[in-house]
Amino acid sequence: MNKVPLSTWTEILQETFLHPFTWKARTSIRTYWSGWLILALLDFIPGIYLLIMGVVPLFLVGLHQPGAFDISWYIAMAIAGVINLYFFLCKLGLMIRRLHDSGRNGVWAWLTFIPVAGVFIWLYLMLQSPTFKPIKWDRYLVKNR
Q: Per-residue pLDDT tens for 48-97?
A: 777 776 666 666 655 555 555 567 677 777 888 888 899 999 999 999 99
Quote the pLDDT of residue 69.
Answer: 59
Torsion, Cα of 36, 21, 116, 126 (10° steps): -50
Q: In this structure, how many other beta carbons lie within 10 angstroms of the beta carbon of residue 120?
A: 11
C-beta separation of 20 from 90 below 8 A = yes
Quote the pLDDT of residue 93.
Answer: 93
Count of H-run helices and E-run strands, the chain: 5, 0
pTM of the predicted model as reported, rounded to 2 decimal places: 0.78
Segments in 24-116 forming alpha helices (H):
29-42, 44-61, 68-101
Model confidence pLDDT, tens digit, residues 96-105: 999 998 888 8
Domain limits, the chain = 9-126
